[in-house]
Amino acid sequence: MDRYPPIAEHGLIGDLQTTALVSSHGVVDWFAAPRFDSPSVFAALLDHDGGGYFLLAPDHPEGTWKQLYYPDTAVLVTRFMSPDGVGEIIDYMPVQPGPRASDRHQLVRVARTVRGTVRFALECRPRFDYARAGHRLDVTPGRATFHAPGATAHLQGDIPLEQDGQDVRGTITLNAGDVAAMVFTMCPPGGEAPPSPTTEGITEDVGDNINFWQLWVRTSRYHGRWTDMVYRSAITLKLLTYAPTGAPVAAATMGLPEQVGGERNWDYRYTWVRDGSLSVRALLDLGFVEEATRFTHWLGDRLGAREGPDGEPLQIMYRVDGDAHLTEEILDHFEGYRGSYPVRAGNAASDQLQLDIYGEALYGLAEGREVGEHAGYHGWKSLAGTLDWLADSWDRPDEGIWETRGGRKDFTYSRVMCWTAFDRGLKLAAEFSRPADTARWTRARDEILEQVMQRGWNEKEQALVQYYGGDVLDASLLLAPRVGFISPRSPAWLSTLDAMDRVLVSDSLVYRYDPQASPDGLRGTEGTFSLCTFLYVDALVRAGRLSQARYAFEKMQTYANHVGLFAEEIGPSGEQLGNFPQAFTHLSLIMAATTLNDALDRLRH
């Protein structure tokens, strides 16, 4: 077992309420329950010695490992090939798609030998509450029960278990055709174990899980050039969405570094208004109307609650159930991934002022037409009240999209998205004949456009820049033509795109900005931002640079991991960095793929 496998050497499984990471060597080294944002049960990825893990792997010193998904599903298959035999571990979580939050979650791990003979080893070492809570172990034939202060966990199945301190281990030898299943069940304190798994029951359950995912994928209307990539991204977005509320989290993990050994280690297991709102268009482009609609319901509820800091209509992120309280703490007993310290749980950026979120929120609501068709009069009044508030509040410095901790500035992107908020609000009011202070909204929209083009433009760079009066370029502005703020083929935009090419683009990979030129209050550097690379592809397409866009898109696929997943960033040697997998990256992949595919189709007609 590697102390710290590469971030990319993992597959993702989940049940639509939480997820787990499984390394390419058969180790579950990240799992939190009962929700994405709950304390961890297995966290060896953040502390090898103390974080806890669940290993099920061939007990063989040599061999070749391969990992893949069963086609169009979230069922993960890890294969091991050696001179003695070929073995497989099938990992999945039984899906819980309904609207009710569950307090029971299962990791199902199936070992089987497909050729020859393979000896499998098991180690189960849970560490509850981010490894802060001890536990007591009971071992009986066919079952181990872990009793912790806030939870009970049961491990049951075919592999004989022996006690190892307060943990368990075991081995089993399987010949070709033999199967052994183990089920790890998280329950509330004192929760009873489910019936012991049987081979027939597990086989049926695997089949049900495969059918669920394949039937869901078949509802997609995307049949373009990159079907496998787009479907994998869609499945990943659904895995990262909390089914009871429809709220997506930004990533499955916390604490994974943007620079190995650095301090840029954040908790991404929450719902960002920005990320979720932009996902609406991506989901609709694929035909997943139900998922897009559920998020717009969630977003509308947040607007109505008006729980933002200082009485603002929204805050930038929430827990998956809509709770606005996200206190940040440092887990000082975790050493961090390869020494990347501190490890943070919670996210203090939730208190930041980021005015761009109103533009993304209105963009998502307008794309889904949720306000006009379903939200009704009271929903519209909440939205209109938000825009009335924004008309008095947009012209302020803020912390910006990247959640910098270096002080507030007049960020150009924030103003562009405030323009988007008024633009979409005006269009919705006209389309659905809703009461609105359209004169006031129009005046604010036009003032923002004038201000951005005058103060956000840098003559020396011949580009729109990160903040007023500065000369730093910022890849967030790649969204400006997509939302309609600027024509994608206007001289000003093409000049901005050329400036980004010179400064932010490295072999088609795109940096968010240069932290040395624009200090963000944090030490160290970071890799290229995968979201920005896909936004760059989208912008190139809109600018008519199709050959460049297609080549950049194809090259980006070479940075995906072995099962098609992306973390937040790409490091200098092509390694994946940051929390994994990141929803923002996968939704922007879908956006770029659909924009590029449609443009290539138009060339053929």
574: helix, strand or coil:
coil
Q: Judge whether 588 lies within some domain.
A: yes
User: Cα 116 to chain center, whole Å?
Assistant: 39
pLDDT at position 95 over 90:
yes
Per-residue pLDDT, 518: 61
Classify burial at 322, counting beta carbons within 10 Å of its beta carbon; exposed 0-12, middle 13-18, buried 19 or more: middle
Q: Judge whether 508 lies within some domain.
A: yes
Alpha-carbon distance values, 544 to 278, 486, 538, 569, 596 (Å): 23, 15, 10, 27, 10
Backbone angles phi, psi at 409, to 5 degrees: -140, 170
Answer yes or no: do 423 and 572 share one domain.
yes
Per-residue exposure over 442-466, b if at least 16 CB sit within 10 Å of its own CB, e if not: eebbebbbebbeeebbbeebebbbb
CATH number of the domain that residue 58 is part of: 2.70.98
Largest CA distance in the chain: 77
pLDDT at position 371 over 70:
no
Answer yes or no: do 338 and 398 share one domain.
yes
CA distance 420 to 482: 10
Average pLDDT for 493-500: 98
Average pLDDT for 301-325: 87
Average pLDDT for 60-82: 95
Q: Tell me which of 188, 215, 242 is where a domain ends.
A: 215
CA distance 396 to 451: 12
Average pLDDT for 380-395: 95
Q: Judge whether 134 lies within some domain.
A: yes
For the chain, give the mean pLDDT: 94
Would you place residue 378 in the very low, low, confident or very high pLDDT band (cuts 50, 70, 90)? confident
Would you place residue 524 in the very low, low, confident or very high pLDDT band (cuts 50, 70, 90)? low
Residue 301, domain extent: 219-603
CA distance 500 to 476: 11
Answer yes or no: do 228 and 287 share one domain.
yes
Answer yes or no: do 207 and 223 share one domain.
no
Domain count within the chain:
2
CA distance 196 to 145: 13
Q: Judge whether 276 lies within some domain.
A: yes
Per-residue pLDDT, 309: 73
Per-residue pLDDT, 311: 78
pLDDT at position 79 over 70:
yes
Answer yes or no: do 494 and 550 share one domain.
yes
pLDDT above 90: percentage of residues in the chain: 86
Q: Judge whether 344 lies within some domain.
A: yes
Answer yes or no: do 178 and 263 share one domain.
no
Per-residue pLDDT, 538: 98
325's tokens: 């309280």
Would you place residue 391 in the very low, low, confident or very high pLDDT band (cuts 50, 70, 90)? very high
DSSP string covering 366-388, please?
A: HHHTHIIIIIHHHHHHHHHHHHH
Q: What is the DSSP letter of 287?
A: T
CB atoms closer than 10 angstroms to residue 251: 26
> How big is the chain by its Cα radius of gyration, in Å?
24
Opening angle at CA 517, ends 512 and 520, nearest 5: 65
Answer yes or no: do 226 and 88 share one domain.
no
Q: Express each pLDDT in 1-23 by its tens digit.
A: 689 999 999 999 999 999 999 99
Would you place residue 576 in the very low, low, confident or very high pLDDT band (cuts 50, 70, 90)? very high
Q: Tell me which of 148, 180, 215 is where a domain ends.
A: 215
CA distance 139 to 357: 51
Answer yes or no: do 238 and 174 share one domain.
no
Q: Which residue has the higher pLDDT, 405 or 351?
A: 351
CA distance 305 to 270: 18
Q: Express each pLDDT in 110-140 by its tens digit.
A: 999 999 999 999 999 999 999 999 999 999 9
Q: Which residue has the higher pLDDT, 375 or 395?
A: 395
Per-residue pLDDT, 520: 61
CA distance 542 to 488: 6
Would you place residue 522 in the very low, low, confident or very high pLDDT band (cuts 50, 70, 90)? low
CB under 8 Å to 311, separation ≥6 — which residues?
A: none
Q: Tell me which of 198, 215, 232 is where a domain ends.
A: 215
CA distance 457 to 470: 9
Amino acid in position 593: A
Q: Express each pLDDT in 21-48 by its tens digit.
A: 999 999 999 999 999 999 999 999 999 9
Per-residue pLDDT, 375: 64
Answer yes or no: do 227 and 136 share one domain.
no
378's tokens: 């009271």
Amino acid in position 512: R
CB under 8 Å to 434, separation ≥6 — which residues?
A: 371, 372, 380, 384, 428
pLDDT at position 261 over 60:
yes
Per-residue pLDDT, 550: 98
Answer yes or no: do 85 and 100 share one domain.
yes
CA distance 457 to 455: 6
pLDDT at position 604 over 90:
no
CA distance 75 to 504: 37
250's tokens: 């930004």
CATH number of the domain that residue 417 is part of: 1.50.10.10
Answer yes or no: do 142 and 20 share one domain.
yes
Answer yes or no: do 127 and 262 share one domain.
no
Per-residue pLDDT, 592: 98
Q: What is the DSSP letter of 98?
A: S
80 within 8 A of 68, measured Cβ to Cβ:
no
Average pLDDT for 186-209: 93
Per-residue pLDDT, 2: 81
Any alpha helices (H) in 406-490, and if so which ranges? 412-432, 438-455
Any alpha helices (H) in 139-272, and if so which ranges? 199-218, 227-239
Would you place residue 287 in the very low, low, confident or very high pLDDT band (cuts 50, 70, 90)? very high
User: Cα 281 to chain center, whole Å?
Assistant: 16
107: helix, strand or coil:
strand
Q: Judge whether 1 lies within some domain.
A: no
CA distance 386 to 312: 9
Tokens 């290539």 belong to 600
CA-wise closest residue to 76 among 210, 212, 205, 175: 210
CA atoms within 13 A on the CB side of 153: 33
425 within 8 A of 383, measured Cβ to Cβ:
yes
Q: Express each pLDDT in 525-547 by its tens digit.
A: 788 999 999 999 999 999 999 99
145 within 8 A of 193, measured Cβ to Cβ:
yes
Q: Which residue has the higher pLDDT, 456 or 365?
A: 456
Q: Judge whether 262 lies within some domain.
A: yes
pLDDT at position 404 over 90:
no
CA distance 581 to 566: 5
pLDDT at position 443 over 70:
yes
Q: Judge whether 382 lies within some domain.
A: yes
pLDDT at position 201 over 60:
yes
pTM: 0.96
Per-residue pLDDT, 523: 64
